[in-house]
Structure 1
Amino acid sequence: MSAVCRFIHAGKANHPVALLCKAMTTARSTYYAWVAGAEAREARRRADEALAHEITVVHLASRRNYGVPRVTAELRRRGRPVNRKRVERVMREHGIAGNSRRTGRRGLTKADTRAAPSPDLIGRDFTATRPGTKIVGDITYIPTAGGRLYLASWLDLATRVVVGYWMADHHRAGLVVDALDMAAKLGRREPGCVIHSDRGSEYTAGQLRVKISESGFGKAWGGPAAASATPPRRASGPY
């Protein structure tokens, strides 16, 4: 409808408004309402342009990393009360987008459906009052010029200190076994220490269970996992 009204407005210098409205099958009241709102629309346009400038400043200061949530938060921190949906609309209209570093990145966890399930002794409580009572960890990869390197680590939930780690060009069970061997040699654990992991095949492998037994930990299931990991995929047991 705005396009029709703009056409009528442009042609009224040469033709009567009534004739133009009839030709465009548009009520004259609709056209006059559009004319009355022109000033408000222009004010909104100017306000959006000013906001776009502020967004651009914040976006460039973040090295083009900030998306809608962080841009909105930064504007509010600077004393600019603004609605998130409006920021999203203005950023979209001006082609401003954040850098989503996680886009297309897949996790390394691949569950072994044949492995026996284990109880979750952590129970969403990723805290510990004494060192050596709860150990968790995970596997991540590091891109290098020569290809990916995989890092397995074991983290003490009480101290947030990595008590064992290992790096290799693969993420088979041997990687977490070597990391566990380092943690075992450090000896920073108490009797009944709980080891917690996701149910990835690296942590449910028999090779890891043998290592746990050889190290004198007793039975344990899985390996360490990040404290932010999703509990339904976790399994844990006592050393």
Structure 2
Amino acid sequence: MPNRLNREFRKSDPGKVFVTDITYLPIASGENVYLSCVKDVATREIVAYKLSTDLRMDLVFQTIKKLEEHLQGNRHPQTTIHSDQGFYYTHPGYQRLVDNP
């Protein structure tokens, strides 16, 4: 995948450029929970998130579904969702989901 954002994280058009990642959060039991979130680069607002006790593909699928709910069908025609290109974000199912809302 090409690096379209090129580390230029200052954008002025809300809803055009998003960044996403998964964070591991240790809890008191010694286990981890996983927070998947999407942030609007222009507003710096977390616009979608999902918390889970496991790292299945559904975690990122549900996060993108929440992003689509947030956008209410008003997706910018040049929307970019930037990620670290890890397993979840290069998975064909994820690619289909973000390419075809």
Superposition TM-score, scaled by structure 1 size:
0.39
Aligned to 1:145: 28
Structure with larger Rg: 1
Question: Secondary structure of 2:97's match?
Answer: helix
Q: Which runs of 5+ in 1 are unaligned?
A: 1-117, 216-239
CA spacing shift, 1:159–1:189, aligned 2, 3 Å: farther
Contact 1:174 1:207 in 2 (8 A): no
Aligned to 1:190: 76
Q: Which runs of 5+ in 2 are unaligned?
A: none
Aligned to 1:135: 18
Aligned to 1:205: 91
Give, in whole Å, the separation in 1 of the partners of 2:6 and 2:88: 21
Q: Which has the higher contact order (CA 8 A, sep 6+)?
A: 2
CA positional deviation for 1:159:
0.2
Aligned to 2:7: 124
Give, in whole Å, the separation in 1 of the partners of 2:78 and 2:47: 17
Give, in whole Å, the separation in 2 of the partners of 1:135 and 1:160: 9
More strand as a share of residues: 2
Superposition TM-score, scaled by structure 2 size:
0.87
CA positional deviation for 1:214:
4.2
Aligned to 1:174: 58
Aligned CA-pair RMSD: 1.5
Give, in whole Å, the separation in 1 of the partners of 2:5 and 2:96: 22
